[in-house]
Amino acid sequence: MSNVPSLPEGYSPVPPGYLAAVVTYLEMHTAPVHDVHEAEGDAHSLALEQLGAAQLDRYRAVYRAVGTPWLWFSRLRLSDEQLRGILADEHVQAFAVRDGNRDVGLLELDFRTEGECELAFFGLVNDYVGRGAGRWLMREAIARAWAEPVRRVHVHTCTLDHPQAVSFYMRAGFTPYARAVEVTPDPRLDGTLPREAGAYAPVLEP
């Protein structure tokens, strides 16, 4: 494999109306040793409820609640038919993190590539961050991933996500192995996300 970067060295302009993010890819090839049943802090009251193909509105609501501050948009650009197809797939496991009568997080595991599990979506609403819920959810994710006949579990995150995301995944047992640059139309300009979302990445009008 060539070590020559596909992007030129130095700065590469990003057109107005677009976002750019550096993506970090991480993986693990053996299950780490965690007590997956241990709950910490305020995590004792949490539970996972599976989201199926008949729950598109609920899925989108929790996706927005978790992801809007970090400019998550990919699932919001899917049609009902496309999203329903993903959630109906027997190789996809999507869960709402439930605390009492409130959805406070999202976990989605994708087993559609044989022998692999992608931690496709993982997150909590802002007021549950830093309360032990993330560690609990990661242990649940890893236990469910390795309960299937997989050889690899992988995840990717980017510089638009929480600034501690990479270090959190590494503490959970993931190892970084690649980077990429993603350039995409700003989802706040077409109404996919509200204009006030992700204030740390200001909107640049085209």
Cβ neighbours around 111 below 10 Å, total: 19
Domain membership of residue 191 (yes or no) is no
Domain membership of residue 9 (yes or no) is no
Instruction: Summarize the confidence of residues 151-161 as an average pLDDT.
Output: 98
pLDDT in tens, 41-71: 556 789 999 999 999 999 999 999 999 999 9
Q: How confident is the model at residue 1 (pLDDT cuts 50, 70, 90)?
A: very low
Domain membership of residue 56 (yes or no) is yes
Instruction: Summarize the confidence of residues 13-33 as an average pLDDT.
Output: 95
Domain membership of residue 205 (yes or no) is no
Is the pLDDT at 35 greater than 80? The verdict is no
Instruction: Summarize the confidence of residues 144-165 as an average pLDDT.
Output: 97
In the block, residue with structure tokens 């989108």: 60
Residue 67: name the closest of 121, 118, 14 by CA: 121
Residue 23: name the closest of 165, 178, 191, 151 by CA: 178
pTM, whole model, 2 decimals? 0.92
Taking every pair of Cα atoms in the chain, the longest distance, rounded to a whole number of angstroms, is: 52
Residue 59: name the closest of 95, 89, 98 by CA: 95
Domain membership of residue 51 (yes or no) is yes
Residue 154: name the closest of 122, 193, 197, 185 by CA: 122
Tally the domains of the chain: 1
User: CATH code at 121?
Assistant: 3.40.630.30
Domain membership of residue 8 (yes or no) is no
Residue 136: name the closest of 164, 112, 104, 158 by CA: 104
Element (H, E) at 142: helix 133-146
Cβ neighbours around 187 below 10 Å, total: 20
Residue 25 is part of which domain span? 18-185
Q: Is 27 helix (H, G, I), strand (E, B) or coil?
A: strand
